[in-house]
Every structure is written in C-alpha cells, then in structure tokens.
Chains A and B, each alone.
Chain A
Amino acid sequence: MKHVLENVESQFEMFQILNEDGKIVNEDDMPDLSDEDLKELMRRMVYTRILDQRSIALNRQGRLGFYAPTAGQEASQLGSQFALEQEDFILPGYRDVPQLIWQGLPLYQAFLFSKGHFHGNQFPENLHALSPQIIIGAQYVQAAGVALGIKKRGKKNVAITYTGDGGTSQGDFYEGINFAGAYKAPAIFIVQNNRFAISVPVEKQTNAKTLAQKSVAAGIEGIQVDGMDVLAVYAVTKDARDRAINGEGPTLIETLTYRFGPHTMSGDDPTRYRTEELDNEWAKKDPLVRFRKFLESKKLWSEEDENKVIEEAKDDIKKAIKQAEEQPKQKVTDLIGNMYEELPSNLKEQMEIYKEKESK
C-alpha cells in the first residue's frame, strides 16, 4: 500500500529570491525588472505603508469607517499586482484595497468605500475589478467565472483573486479552484497566509502542511512563496500569468506573510491570540526592510527617495480624505434607484416616500 501525503507535501517548498538580509538567494529566478521597476515597487510599498498608518489614524479619529490594516502584507499584495496588465480582472478580499489603488482606483474612492459610500465602488472604466468581497471565499467561485469568460472572449488576460488562510477552509475555495481547473481557465488564486483568520491560527484551520498543496486535488499548479519577498511574489505571479494566458490553466499561490496590525479596526486585539515573540519574529521579515536593503546595496534607494515618497503619500492622503469628505452623503433614494434597472412598482412607491423624507 502506497501512502503519498508526505511525498506530496515535501514538494511544496517556499520559493524565495531575497532573504531577510536583502541578499539574492535564487539568482536563476530573478525576474526581469528594470531599475525603474524595482524603484517603483519600493515606492509603492512605502506609499502603501504610509497609507496604512494614516488610515488607522483616520479611523481612530472617526473620519474613516471599516478598515482592515495591510502593514506586513505589502509584498504579497503589491508584488502580485505588479505582475498584472491593466485589462486583467481583480477580485479582492476585504484587505486587498491596495491592489485596487495601484490598478487605478482613486484614493478618495478607497476612502469612500471605507466610509460606507457606494461611490467608492463606482470604479473608473479602466479598472477591471470588483469591490472588496466581504463574504470569505465568494470571490473564488466568481474568479472562475470571470476567467472562463476571459477565455471564451479569447482575451490574453487573467482573473486574479485573493483570500486568506481561513478562506481556504471554505467550500467556495475548493469549488472555485476546481471549476477553474476543469475549464482550464486563466485564473490566479492567491492565498495570503498571514497565519491567523482573525484569531484562529492556521494550524487549527487544516491538517494540510501547506495551503499551496490544496491545488493538487484540483489538478492545478500550486506554489508556496515567501510573501515577505516582493520579488518572489512578483516572479511567481508573473509565471502564473504567463502560463494562464498561454492556455495552461489556473495556479494557486500561497504567500507566507503576516499582518502586523489587528484584523480590522473594529475592536480586534491581537494580543489575545498572538505572542510578542511571534510578532517580533515576523517583524524581522518586514518586506519593506528587506527590499530596501536590496535596493540600497544596488544604490537604487536612498533616505531622500524614501522621504520623498512619504511626503507624496501624506500629501495625496490629505487631499483624498478631503475629497471623500466633500462627497455628498449617500441617500436612501440612491439605494432604491440602484436596486434594479427599472424601478418595480413597490420601489416606485417607496422612492416617493424617501424623496419626501430626504428633501427635508
């Protein structure tokens, strides 16, 4: 009798390009990125870290609403997004606002999403994406559909979707990767394994040693990558994208990462479920620190560059929050008007009632 689990699991080794000291450990897989690209990746990560810090502050001041902190996950989020083309379609989870922003969502609209205003989700025409999904895993089955649609249209694009370690326990996770596999659809499924689904550690989530190995059952490619290494995340996503548009089907990518902050700003206290030791261990892997070291060694990044981005980000954020706050308040009549293409009779009556209420 042959027992295969151990053999399968041993195949999933973490893919890495830069180690924690910013040294290249895997020259062969070093992606073909120009110096400008490398600097742009760093710029985006620094900008996004500042955006996270400011968003937390704005949330505490009551100027933003729902917010899921992103610090620690920049390499996973931005490295994967950097591998996309403008026509690719993103189906994000609720923490994946940065990918939308770098794909073209104006910052003030990201703030409006946080504030619970529907204009935050009225995306510009050149942004092909859904707004952040609240139901864990629902985006996985939808991504299979978008990818199949892309394939049927004969486009050279991909659907990319994101969930977390907890999301891989959902039925929709399996259904999504299985459907995409069955149709050989150009989909990229990213699991940002930040080790905790709110408070539940990944060890309690599954007996699988890696989350990437879940691809095997669906018969699709899977890879585990150092999610704190932006070059590694970029490289595996680019490879997945190349294979997808080449008709080779979907890929499941598990990024090993960590969220430095709480689950959301709605009262989560990570000290209830994470130790300081673990926090410190992961702080050493900070994707910004590692990539900064790498760029500095190549003389591509300086303190001056860093400060310039920080000022740019702060300035943009100031303007964007102002613009978001100037947006007229959403009305119930907007809601009623957006339920159907044409108002059914019941909503016609209710529209009149709320027009009257909201005119006062």
Chain B
Amino acid sequence: MAQMTMIQAITDAMRTELKNDENVLVFGEDVGQNGGVFRATEGLQDEFGEDRVFDTPLAESGIGGLAIGLALQGYRPVPEIQFFGFVYEVMDSISGQMARMRYRSGGHHTAPITVRAPFGGGVHTPEMHADSLEGLMAQQPGLKVVIPSTPYEAKGLLIAAIRDNDPVIFLEHMKLYRSFRGEVPEEAYTVEIGKAEVKKEGKDVTLIAYGAMVHASLKAAEELEKDGIDAEVIDLRTVSPIDYETVIESVKKTNRVVVVQEAQRQAGVAANVVAEIQERAILHLEAPVLRVAAPDTVYSFSDAEEVWLPNHRDIVEKVNTVINF
C-alpha cells in the first residue's frame, strides 16, 4: 500500500473520481496549471484537460454560483475555496442556495457539490486563513461537514463526498497536509460520511475531537497513559451530522468526557456535543463534560497562535479535572 501525505491522498481522491465519473469537475482559483496553492490539484489539469479541471476568476461567490449552475446541468462540481477564511464571500451560495436546493425545489433539483477548502491554525498564515469555521457550516441544515484527520480518511471521505448527492463542505486542516504520511490504498474506496471512529480504545475517559485535535488528543492520551489513565479517543470525522451512537456508546463505557475543538468555545461543535451527551446519557456521567477550545476571540495573529491554539497539555489538564471530580 502507498504511503501518502494527506494532500497527496486528497489529490488521489480527486484523480480517482475524475476518472470514475465524467461529470466530476474540479475548479477554483489557481487549481489549473498551478495545481492549487497547496498543490492539491497537482497534475490534474494535465491528466484530465482544461475542460474538467480549470481556473476560475478570483471571486468566491462566483465560484459558488458556478458550482450551483454546473450542478443544475448534471455535473458533480468540486470547487475549491482557496482558504476557508474566505468563505464569508460565498456564504450565500453555500447556505442560501446549495444547502436549500433540494428542499426549495421539492427534490426537483439537487446540489451534489463538494466544496473543498484548507483551514486550521499553526502554520503562521496571515489573517482570515486559519479560522475554524466548521461551526458556521454545521449550523446550516442541508449541508454535510466533513473534516478528515488522516490521509486514509481524507481519500475515503473525499470520494464519499464527491459521490454524495447533497452538498458537502470538506475541510482540510493545513497543519495535517504534510506533517505525516499514512497508508492509503490505491483503489477507490469510501469512508462513510456521518460515522465517527474510535481512534484509540480506553476505559477511563473519552476524548472527542476532529481534525488536528485528534492528534493532540492522541498525544494527550499517551501522556495520560504514563499516569495510569486509559483514555479513549473518538474522531468525529463528520461534524454535521454527528455520529452520536458512537459517542454515547463510549460515554456509557468511560463515564467521563472531554470534548476538544480548535475553534472558539462559544456556540461551536463541542457545545453541541456536550448538550447531546447530557440529554442522552446524563445518568452515565460521573463528572461534568468539559471542553477544550480556543478563547472567544477572533483567530490570533500568528505571533500568538501557539498559545491561542488548544494543545495536548490543555487536554491533559481537563482530563485530570474530570477524573478527580
């Protein structure tokens, strides 16, 4: 099996689907000859031609509208938003239009669109590049929101997203793009959207995370192991819809939970997970469900981001609190 970085796995997923379905189109700013600013579309235009893989003018709302219009002609668009911080420019196309297409037309039209975008902190970007905005997306009914944490999942989830007949927001954490390699099968395969995965089994406490925070949680679990605390780590993989079955099963086993997100604390995915846990399993809890999250500020300028971003030490601290409650 091939060893790939996450960015290679993402390119491989698009290549696989461009081959598999002639209706798949890949486009965005600089995705053509340049192969994307992160090289996510490297080589795809050469391989599939400018008709299938193409540059757009520099306008995010236009890209969103283009995707919707192409979907109305039976295509399966895979537009890239160059950085997800630019999503505000295309919010109407995403939340006002594609998310509502199926309902608005009573099922007559659909929007099988996969909006890909890099996001995430820790790589010293300028402002508006690193923000975790999955909470905004998760609040929009009609969308699915997927965030892979490994190369294997990136490929399988992206293929699943492209094949999905509803719009999927596919968020790629920049810090994970090239930080490690993983085994990725060469053939086409899917990872089910809306299904979480237990990344490490444990019995004392459940850590629930997604994206880069899965790796911070795994690191925290390693540290906790030294203190004799056996942490279970769940990767949500999809933050809309959330796989509460897997979450609640784990809660019932460990009775203690810390939910981890890179985004700000206020009104995010973690808040929702906490609410659902207490509604569904409060009698199984031995301690309040705590959150690890960033402070309720806008994303930090890069000079302070290492402190601003939640890390494995923050997770260990919160775990100790729920263990000693």
Contacts and interface: CB of A to CB of B under 8 A. Distances in A.
A339 B103 contact: yes
B51 interface: yes
A141 B70 contact: no
A204 interface: no
A148 B67 CA distance: 10
Interface string B45-72: 0000001000011010110111111111
B74 A149 contact: yes
B59 A145 contact: no
Given A141-B64, A152-B73, A175 B104 contact: no
Interface string B101-140: 0111111111000000000000000000000000000000
B69 A142 contact: yes
Given A142-B97, A344-B241, A121 B106 contact: yes
B142 interface: yes
B105 A131 contact: yes
A179 B57 contact: yes
Contacts of B92: 135, 138, 172
Contacts of B242: 346
Contact of A152 (B75, B102, B166): B75
Given A145-B65, A335-B103, A341-B165, A178 B57 contact: yes
Contact of B62 (A131, A150, A178): A178
A339 B98 CA distance: 11
Nearest to B65: A141
A141 B93 contact: yes
Contacts of A122: 105-108
A143 B62 CA distance: 10
A37 B194 CA distance: 55
A150 B69 CA distance: 9
Contacts of A89: 72
Contacts of B105: 118, 121-123, 130-131
Interface string B234-261: 0000000111110000000000000000
A202 interface: no
B63 to A, nearest CB: 8
Contacts of B144: 340, 344
Contacts of B165: 341
Contacts of A152: 25, 51, 70, 73, 75
Nearest to B103: A338
A146 B72 contact: yes
B66 A141 contact: yes
B286 to A, nearest CB: 26
Most buried by A among B108, B141, B144, B194: B108
A122 B96 CA distance: 19
A102 to B, nearest CB: 19
A150 B66 CA distance: 12
Contacts of A131: 104-105
A345 interface: yes
B69 A159 contact: yes
Contacts of B66: 141, 144-145, 148, 179
A253 B217 CA distance: 58
B103 A142 contact: no
A149 B57 contact: no
Contacts of A141: 61-62, 64-66, 68-69, 93
Interface string B174-199: 00000000000000000000100000
Contacts of A339: 102-103, 141-142
A335 B64 CA distance: 24
Interface in A105-122: 118-119, 121-122
A347 B103 CA distance: 14
A153 interface: yes
Contact of A123 (B64, B69, B108, B245): B108
A93 interface: no
Contact of B96 (A138, A143, A175): A138
A153 B105 CA distance: 23
A207 to B, nearest CB: 22
B53 to A, nearest CB: 13
A142 B72 contact: yes
Given A118-B103, A142-B72, A172 B57 contact: no
Nearest to B166: A340
Given A122-B105, A143-B69, A338-B107, A345 B241 contact: yes
Interface of A: 89, 118-119, 121-123, 130-131, 135, 138, 140-150, 152-153, 159, 171-172, 175-176, 178-179, 182, 334-335, 338-341, 344-347
20 contacts: A122-B108, A131-B105, A140-B65, A141-B65, A141-B93, A142-B69, A144-B65, A146-B70, A147-B69, A149-B75, A153-B74, A172-B61, A175-B62, A179-B56, A179-B59, A334-B106, A341-B166, A344-B194, A345-B241, A347-B241
Given A138-B96, A148-B66, A179-B65, 6 more contacts: A122-B105, A145-B72, A149-B73, A153-B74, A344-B194, A345-B243
